[in-house]
Amino acid sequence: MAFDGALNSQGAGAGFILTSPSGDQFKHAIHLNFRATNNTAEYEGLLAGIRAAATLGVRRLIVKGDSELVANQVHKDYKCSSPELSKYLAEVRKLEKRFDGIEVRHVYRKDNIEPDDLARRASR
């Protein structure tokens, strides 16, 4: 699963792509109808993708996103000191229990083009 969030002067959006082992893809974009930050938009994309994977019965999930902050907070390399982001992180921890394994990896923006495009389109 790959995710991203976007924030611009028009609004905020998030997107994710679930890819099956056989290469089938499910793509989804979400316009965020609330005042968001770039980090909350990233978390919204992550959570939407994790929820979709859980609903589809996925048991093992590899997650890729270009937000170093989100990846490292989920990975427990960074402490989460923001009360707002702590709520998002708590939801991730709750959802992790629905999987046999979940791994979050930071990737460079150039390797996250499709989810970025979904999130940017949804932010308009």
The CATH number for 84's domain is 3.30.420.10
Q: In the predicted model, what is the mean pLDDT of residues 18-26?
A: 96
Q: In the predicted model, what is the mean pLDDT of residues 15-29?
A: 97
The percent of residues above 90 in pLDDT, for the chain, comes to 98
Query: How far apart, in whole angstroms, are the C-alpha atoms of residue 99 and residue 56?
Result: 11
Residue range(s) defining the domain that contains residue 24: 2-122
Q: In the predicted model, what is the mean pLDDT of residues 40-68?
A: 97
Query: Residue 44 — very low, low, confident or very high, per pLDDT cuts 50/70/90?
Result: very high
pTM given for the model: 0.95
Query: How far apart, in whole angstroms, are the C-alpha atoms of residue 16 and residue 116?
Result: 9
Q: What is the mean pLDDT of the chain?
A: 96
Total domain count, the chain: 1
> Which of 10, 16, 12 is closest to 29 using CA atoms?
16
Q: What does the pLDDT read at residue 24?
A: 96
Query: Residue 124 — very low, low, confident or very high, per pLDDT cuts 50/70/90?
Result: very high
- CB of 62 closer than 8 Å to CB of 103: yes
Q: What does the pLDDT read at residue 85?
A: 97
Q: Distance of CA 121 to CAs 10, 11, 26, 32, 112, Å?
A: 11, 10, 16, 11, 14
